[in-house]
Structures are given as C-alpha cells and as structure tokens.
C-alpha cells in the first residue's frame, strides 16, 4: 500500500514537472511577447527597454532604434504577434502623427534570436 502511494506520488511529481516544463516559456520568454514589448518601446522611445531587448548583433543600433519615432507622435494600433521559430509575424499598424498629417507603418515580420537564453528582437526579416 505504502509502495503504491509512493509510486502515485512519484507519478504525480513527474506529471507536475512535465506540466511546469510545458508551461515555461522556451528560451526565457515568449518570442512574440518580446517583439510586442520591443515595438512598443521603440515607438515611445523607451531607450532602456529597447537596449534590453535588442539582440547582440544590433547592439550598436540601440540609439538609432530608440530614436526612430522621436520626430513624430506615434502609437501602435491592433498589434498581434505570433512566433514561429526565429520569426515573429505581427499584424497591426504604427500610426505616426506629424503636425496634422498621419502616416501609417504596417507591422511586418521580424527576426528574433536567443542571447544567453533570452529571446531578443533582431531586426526585420529579409
């Protein structure tokens, strides 16, 4: 009886581990969520977040990325991103207002890369 209980506890323990492993974001964070955070930070000019979420290869571009929408009032509408491997595709639009004129930038597909186990934004897909 005791053995049976131990076996059941053991199975339950492994099942819990499996469940936790399945739920844990692979590679330290959901790639789609990272891209959404990145785009949001880029549009509002949040330099710290941009720097934190930018992949190593593009580290030198941090200043340029964080200033991309500095000359306009920008916001994102209807953003929805889905990840597939190292590619994240987003729908939605960046709306940039300059004076009274609005310009729309449709969102597209972006590369992501793992740096030290974390997903990072790594530029537009070529």
Partner 1 sequence: MMRLCLWILLSLLLVMPAAAQDDATAPFIATAFRDLTVRAGPGITHRPTSGLGAGVPVRIIERSVTGIWMRVVLENASGEPAWDGWVMRGYLTLSPNLRLSEVPVNREVSDDDPTSQQRESFRRLYGTPIITPHIDTMRAIFLRGQEMGNRADVITKVGDSVTADERYLQPMSQPGALLGPFDFLAPTLTYFGEGAGEASVAARIGMTSYVVLDPMWADPSQCEGGETPLACEYRRRQPSIAFIMFGANDVQHMTYEEYAVQIDEIVDLTLDAGIIPVLSTFSYSPDNALFPQSLEFNLRVLEIAEAQQVPLINLWAAARALPDYGLDIDGIHMLQSGFRYLKFDTGHDAFYGTSLRNLLSLIMLDELRVGLSMEGET
**Residues forming the site for partner 1 (CB under 8 A):** 42, 63-65, 67-72, 94, 96, 98-99, 101, 103, 105-106, 108-109, 123-126
Burial code of 11-44, b = ≥16 C-beta within 10 A, e = fewer?
Answer: eeeeeeeeeeeeeeeebebbbbebbbbbbebbbb
Whole-number minimum distance, CB 104 to partner 1, in Å?
Answer: 10
How buried is 90 (Cβ within 10 angstroms: 0-12 exposed, 13-18 middle, 19+ buried)?
buried
Specify the residue, 16 or 80, whose C-beta has the smaller distance to partner 1. 80
Specify the residue, 20 or 71, whose C-beta has the smaller distance to partner 1. 71
Whole-number minimum distance, CB 35 to partner 1, in Å?
Answer: 12
DSSP run (H or E) holding 42 = helix 31-44
Whole-number minimum distance, CB 85 to partner 1, in Å?
Answer: 16
Whole-number minimum distance, CB 44 to partner 1, in Å?
Answer: 14
- Give the three-class secondary structure for 4: helix
Specify the residue, 101 or 116, whose C-beta has the smaller distance to partner 1. 101
């Amino acid at each position: 009886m005791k053995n049976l209980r131990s076996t059941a506890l053991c199975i339950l323990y492994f099942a819990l581990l499996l469940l936790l492993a399945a739920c844990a974001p692979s590679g330290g964070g959901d790639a789609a969520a990272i891209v959404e955070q990145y785009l949001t930070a880029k549009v509002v000019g949040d330099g710290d977040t941009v720097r934190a979420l930018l992949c190593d290869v593009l580290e030198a571009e941090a200043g340029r990325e964080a200033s991309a929408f500095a000359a306009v009032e920008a916001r994102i509408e209807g953003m929805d991103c889905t990840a597939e491997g190292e590619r994240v595709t987003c729908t939605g639009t960046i709306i940039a207002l300059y004076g009274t004129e609005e310009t729309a930038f449709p969102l597209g597909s972006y590369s992501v890369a793992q740096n030290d186990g974390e997903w990072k934004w790594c530029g537009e897909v070529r």
